[in-house]
């Protein structure tokens, strides 16, 4: 069993404006029919009936995850503590117009992240920065350690006790870093998310359950993938949603979960993707389906950022 950050967000109910339009039950199916009629014809539009038999356990389209590519970033820091900001230093030696830049944002310790649209531009800019290496240095981003989550541990069990039980299964005796914790599904329990270096990760993932005080507690990989339970979009959780009108995960209707009367599943993310680029992904599934092509793209992107 695996968990993502959207599931963590389920434990925190977010109040929405009371004037949000709630769709009547009888309109739910009509909205699906209407939205399907707006879909651009895709390469397999004639096979719509076959899509209705989509099986949640079927394997996703490989191309949806294999095609994921992350825009190449550069992390810059000044060589010595300086009152001169990096943009000023770069402006004196390197014209920004020579590069296809996607984004620029400041980070801690007066650093700067420059995201480029193409790898060639990243190499070109890196070469130019090396010529002024006495002022600015490039820091390798590297990959982060994967994470494990321990479920529903009683709140009265201390972190030290938990660590001591985990160390029995580790290849070294160093305590794991607790990245964060949040309320468990059961009363007076908590879920703990640990940073786990590769060797520890594979060992703990294989055991799946950990005995603590004569009870077994489930352990699995944690994916740092944010998905909003209000609008179903990736990249943020419910508390940060910018929308006032909900999108239900099962039918793309604009109503709350409890008001859904649809007999069909339709993924709002795959529907939207198809509307924009006619990619024709399988759309007849819940937005929360683990095999959703859009989710698989996010998962592939996340896994590329971890050192397994």
Contact 289, 267 (CB under 8 A): yes
Considering the domain 147-222, what is its CATH architecture?
Answer: 2-Layer Sandwich (3.30)
Burial 177-205 (b: 16+ CB within 10 A, else e): eebebbbbeeeebbbbbbbbbeebbeebb
Checking if the pLDDT of 8 tops 80, the result is: no
Distance CA 270, CA 256 (A): 19
**Which pLDDT band, with edges at 50, 70 and 90, does 268 fall under?**
confident
- Give 98-156 pLDDT, tens digit per residue: 999 999 999 888 889 999 999 899 899 999 998 887 888 888 767 889 999 999 999 99
Checking if the pLDDT of 54 tops 50, the result is: no
CATH of domain 73-140: 3.30.70
Instruction: Sketch the domain layout of the chain as residue ranges.
Output: 73-140, 147-222, 238-305
**Which pLDDT band, with edges at 50, 70 and 90, does 22 fall under?**
very low
Average pLDDT over residues 232-244: 84
* Report field, pTM of the whole predicted structure over 0.75: no
Checking if the pLDDT of 220 tops 60, the result is: yes
Which has more confidence, 270 or 255? 270
Q: In this predicted structure, what is the pLDDT of residue 63?
A: 37
- Examine domains 73-140 and 147-222 and report if their fold is the same: yes
Q: In this predicted structure, what is the pLDDT of residue 182?
A: 96
Distance CA 216, CA 210 (A): 5
| Residue 125, CB-side half-sphere exposure with 13 Å CA sphere | 27
Our separate counts of H helices and E strands in the chain read: 10, 10
Contacts of 146 (CB under 8 A, 6+ apart): 196, 198, 201, 221, 306, 307, 308
């Amino acid at each position: 069993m695996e968990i993502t950050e959207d599931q963590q967000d389920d434990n925190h109910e977010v109040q929405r404006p009371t004037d949000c339009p709630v769709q009547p039950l009888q309109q739910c199916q009509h909205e699906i029919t209407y939205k399907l009629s707006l879909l651009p014809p895709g390469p397999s539009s004639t096979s719509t009936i076959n899509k209705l038999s989509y099986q949640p356990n079927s394997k996703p389209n490989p191309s949806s995850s294999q095609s994921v590519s992350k825009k190449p970033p550069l992390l810059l820091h000044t060589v010595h503590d300086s009152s001169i900001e990096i943009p000023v230093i770069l402006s004196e030696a390197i014209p920004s117009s020579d590069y296809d830049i996607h984004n620029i944002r400041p980070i801690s310790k007066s650093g700067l992240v420059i995201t480029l649209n193409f790898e060639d531009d990243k190499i070109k800019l890196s070469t130019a920065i090396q010529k002024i290496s006495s002022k600015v240095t490039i820091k390798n981003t590297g990959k982060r350690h994967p994470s494990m989550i321990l479920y529903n541990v009683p709140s009265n069990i201390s972190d030290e006790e938990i660590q001591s039980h985990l160390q029995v299964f580790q290849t070294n005796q160093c305590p794991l870093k607790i990245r964060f914790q949040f309320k468990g599904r059961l009363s007076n329990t908590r879920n703990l998310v640990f940073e786990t270096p590769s060797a520890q990760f594979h060992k703990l993932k294989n055991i799946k359950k950990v005995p603590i005080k004569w009870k077994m507690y489930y352990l699995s990989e944690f994916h740092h993938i944010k998905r909003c339970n209000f609008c179903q979009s990736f990249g943020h959780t419910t508390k940060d949603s910018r929308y006032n009108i909900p999108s239900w995960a099962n039918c793309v209707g604009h109503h709350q979960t409890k008001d859904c009367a649809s007999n069909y599943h339709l993924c709002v993310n795959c529907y939207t993707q198809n509307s924009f680029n006619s990619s024709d992904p399988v759309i007849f599934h819940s937005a929360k389906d683990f095999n959703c092509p859009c989710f698989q793209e996010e998962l592939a992107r996340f896994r590329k950022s971890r050192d397994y």
